[in-house]
Amino acid sequence: MKTYMAKPGEIDKKWYILDAEGKVLGRLATEAAVILRGKHRPAFTPNVDTGDHVIVINADKIVLTGNKLQNKKYIRHSGYPGGLKVMSYATLMNKNPEIAVRKAIEGMLPHNRLGAAMAKKLKVYNGAEHPHQAQMPEAWSL
């Protein structure tokens, strides 16, 4: 018996909605990363993008446990000397909670070209509305 290896043309991509309201950031991120990577499928192949599209709604209502709102920092660098930007997650969640959710999910994907292709299938929105009704997304229970 041979091991089945999926080919890119054989995979039919589905769309799933994850509702982030009241959910913990890390728990939601692991579920979304599993779907994007395709590990929920029996035909999972590590070197092929077998994952599905993920829509995360209500990103502004996500929860961080413990003292992470004050202690956890969002750090980025412009590439220029003195270009370090540091922001607490409390400020980030007030300004743009989509970035916090996106960074948590993308950090759990492979850090190569395949992971970048998987990250393109992630859509994050603050409210309950999204423009992907035509794809007929299914609700994913957490």
Closest CA to 91 of 71, 107, 77, 106: 71
Cα–Cα dist 30/11, whole Å: 22
Give residue 130's pLDDT. 96
Percent of the chain scoring above 90 in pLDDT: 94
Is the confidence at residue 142, as pLDDT, over 90? no
pLDDT digits (tens, 9 = 90+) for 50-108: 999 999 999 999 999 999 999 999 999 999 999 999 999 999 999 999 999 999 999 99
Rounded mean pLDDT, 32-44: 96
End-to-end alpha carbon distance in the chain: 35
Global pTM?
0.93
User: Which domains are seen in the chain, by residue range?
Assistant: 13-64+97-139 (3.90.1180.10)
Residue 25 phi/psi, 5-degree rounding, is -55, -50
Beta bridge pairs of residue 24: 63
CB count within 10 Å of CB 83 equals 9
Is the confidence at residue 1, as pLDDT, over 90? no
Give residue 39's pLDDT. 96
Rounded mean pLDDT, 36-51: 95
Write the CA distances from 52 to 25, 33, 36, 66, integer angstroms. 20, 10, 5, 32
* DSSP reduced 3-state for 105: helix
